[in-house]
Amino acid sequence: MEILASVGTFIAIVLLLEGILLIFRTRWNPETQRVKSQLRTLSMHAYGDEALEIVRTRKFSEIPWLNKVLSSVRFGLIGKIDIIIQQSGSTYPVGVFLLLSLIAALSGFLAALWITGTQLIAIIAMVAAGTLPFFYILAKKRRRMEKFERQLPEALELIARAMRGGQAFSGGLQMAAKEFDDPAGVEFGNVLNEINFGISVEDALKNLLLRVDCPDLKFFAIAVIIQRESGGNLAEIMENISRLIRERFKLQGRIRTLSAEGKLSAAILIAIPFFVALALSILRPEYIGLLITDPIGKLLIVISAFMLVLGIFMIRGMIKIKV
């Protein structure tokens, strides 16, 4: 009996120590502290006269020290890059693109230095390679915004029909979030989630304008904000905005048709110098060789390249018409 009592006491003491250790380990766990901090932020209890504020934090990197550094400068260039990443629909944080840019820049510098052996060309290649990830983000953002712009008239008409059928504005947003794919469905779903979490409709629409770079969306947001303050038939307003957007699309189509000849002429004028250089390199290689080896020829190449780029921008300004 004494042995059993001793063994039982020993097991009880071990379990008690394990329980105490488990309690303090849970309390000291950084992940637990983060969750508790977020729960305190989202708590519905008001402190004093301060209004409830829902804070949405966005990580700039999964690496803690890099995220801390980027968070300290989030309102500058890093913040603008993060907004472009959100507009592009990418799920990767800013730190991933910064590291990719650094790796690409270093690879471009070493590759150009190994091929040409010239530091100037290597530096130019480093800058060009380092900007590739950000050009990728801009291209992805442009495609996503164009798709959203095409989806917007139908989404507004769906919200208007839902409101005419007796649904509230949030119900129309829910229908648009379910019926449309990314980006319209996702963005309207985010607006609905923010409203359900307690953010005002005005602030949720302002956040939508920050995430979506679409001029036509501003008409929708302003109309909703004004209607909530002064009243009016919001369904009819959204139908009018949808009709206005469709008419603008038709006008853009006519402008593209009328400017097609100018774009073709611009492409021919830009391609002529390269075709002439190719023809001379085949028919008279000594001419091209002298142009490359002679110092005056190099200077003429630089001046010609500068004038070509300047001409491209001038032609682009003449044939590009904003509606």
pLDDT of residue 8: 46
Q: Structure tokens of 30?
A: 């950084």
pLDDT of residue 116: 78
pLDDT of residue 137: 92
Contacts of 125 (CB under 8 A, 6+ apart): 108, 109, 111, 112
pLDDT of residue 1: 45
CATH superfamily ID and name for 144-255: Type II secretion system (T2SS), domain F (1.20.81.30)
**8 Å CB contact between 187 and 217:** no
**8 Å CB contact between 134 and 101:** yes
Whole-angstrom distance, CA of residue 291 vs CA of residue 295: 8
168: region left, alpha or beta (phi > 0 left; psi from -120 to 50 alpha) = beta
Domains of the chain by residue range: 2-41, 64-130, 144-255, 259-319
Collect the ranges in the chain with pLDDT lower than 50.
Answer: 1-2, 4-5, 7-8, 12, 15-16, 19, 22-23, 26-27, 39-55
pLDDT of residue 251: 86
- Token pair 């390269």 is found at 274
Contacts of 258 (CB under 8 A, 6+ apart): none
